[in-house]
Amino acid sequence: MRPLGRGREVTPGTTVLAHLHRSNGYDVYDAWNEPRGCRVIVKTLRPDRLRRPAMRRALLREGRALRRLVHPHIVRGYEVHTEPRPAFVMETLTGETVGHLIETATRPLGAAELANLGSHLASAVRYLHREGLLHLDLKPSNVVAEHGRAKVIDLSHARPAGRLKPGIGTWCYMAPEQVRGGDIGPAADVWGLGIVLYDAALRTTSLADVADDLDVDDPQLHVRLPSLRRGRPRLPRALTDLVDACLEPDTGARPTIDDVMRRLYDLASR
């Protein structure tokens, strides 16, 4: 079934301006919200997925989480609807994803930019953890850079810490323990933050490249990524050492999110 067309009401008081994206289960729209008098983003089930209760529950869980969470580095949720279709309304962000910037930038991010990006992500992740959630899907395409501020989007995989099935997250951005499944805790998001900074610094999708080179499905279970210092020797050692520490395969060897945030804010202020 085709996405809703321009002018169609997608939630009460909100009409479609344009269809932005279609995934396996969801449609995302640029829309006009009449009560607020502004543009918004609406995420809803695809018309041909309305009879999928698991997808419905996941969408509503994400929307309710975003509406509850209020943080300057997490996209703001406004409304959650069950009728006429499951959907939630959130703020429009005008920046670009870090993934897009990696692909199109004419130069790599400098030390201050990387530290600033990392400190914003660490602040958002720390808040999520204190609210009882792990993000579990930190990746460049889930971070929007807008006027010098990074905002985390897409909480579709967010879960409380605990025993989780294998593979919750995105293939080349999951921590090793997410790939295996089992007891998953805050260290998984520390690893996710580390891989975002690693890829942003090198302007590459590092683990996907490793998977191609080694012809393996889960490269994070087979190799330890080379030190960031090898690829960016001019970056401050304090920054490259921190990113490397976040990517330790052993969860106990990774720094805590509080330590990561403190060290990144210190580097960003230099």
CATH number, residue 144: 1.10.510.10
**Whether residue 48 sits in one domain with residue 32:** yes
**Whether residue 262 sits in one domain with residue 246:** yes
Q: Could you tell me the two tokens for 14?
A: 């909100």
What's the domain count of the chain?
A: 2
Quick: pLDDT tens for 225-260.
999 999 999 999 999 999 999 999 999 999 999 999
**Whether residue 169 sits in one domain with residue 73:** no
* 191 within a domain of the structure (yes/no): yes
**Whether residue 124 sits in one domain with residue 251:** yes
Provide the domain limits for residue 55: 9-91
The percentage of residues in the chain with a pLDDT greater than 90, rounded to a whole number, is: 81
pLDDT (0 to 100) of residue 218: 86
Going by C-alpha positions, the residue among 260, 112, 147 that lies closest to residue 193 is 260
* 48 within a domain of the structure (yes/no): yes
* 4 within a domain of the structure (yes/no): no
**Whether residue 141 sits in one domain with residue 122:** yes
Does residue 223 surpass a pLDDT of 90?
Answer: no
Going by C-alpha positions, the residue among 181, 170, 123 that lies closest to residue 149 is 123
Quick: pLDDT tens for 19-35.
999 988 999 999 999 99
* Residue where one domain finishes, among candidates 91, 122, 140: 91
Contact 235, 198 (CB under 8 A): no
Quick: pLDDT tens for 162-215.
999 999 999 889 999 999 999 999 999 999 999 999 999 999 888 888 777 777
- Active-site option among 137, 154, 189, 199: 137
* Residue where one domain finishes, among candidates 50, 68, 91: 91
Beta strand 87-91 with 77-81 is: antiparallel
154 is catalytic: no
**Whether residue 183 sits in one domain with residue 63:** no
SS3 81: strand
Looking at beta carbons, which pairs linking 44-51 to residues 24 or more positions away fall under 8 Å? 44/10, 44/11, 44/85, 44/86, 44/87, 44/88, 45/85, 45/86, 45/87, 46/1, 46/3, 46/22, 47/1, 47/2, 47/3, 47/4, 47/85, 48/1, 49/25, 50/85, 50/86
Query: Roughly how many angstroms between the first and final C-alpha of the chain, as a whole number?
Result: 53
What DSSP string describes 90-145? EE---SEEHHHHHHH-SS---HHHHHHHHHHHHHHHHHHHHTT-B-----GGGEEE
From the CB of residue 211, how many other CB atoms can be counted at a distance below 10 Å?
19
Going by C-alpha positions, the residue among 264, 266, 261 that lies closest to residue 129 is 261
**Whether residue 140 sits in one domain with residue 26:** no
* 2 within a domain of the structure (yes/no): no
**Whether residue 191 sits in one domain with residue 232:** yes
Average confidence (pLDDT) over 53-58 = 93
Quick: pLDDT tens for 113-157.
999 999 999 999 999 999 999 999 999 999 999 988 999 999 999
pLDDT (0 to 100) of residue 259: 98
Quick: pLDDT tens for 64-110.
999 999 999 999 999 999 988 999 999 999 899 999 988 898 888 99
**Whether residue 192 sits in one domain with residue 144:** yes
pLDDT (0 to 100) of residue 204: 87
**Whether residue 63 sits in one domain with residue 171:** no
* Residue where one domain finishes, among candidates 64, 91, 118: 91
pLDDT (0 to 100) of residue 191: 97
Contact 15, 84 (CB under 8 A): no
pLDDT (0 to 100) of residue 59: 95
* 3 within a domain of the structure (yes/no): no
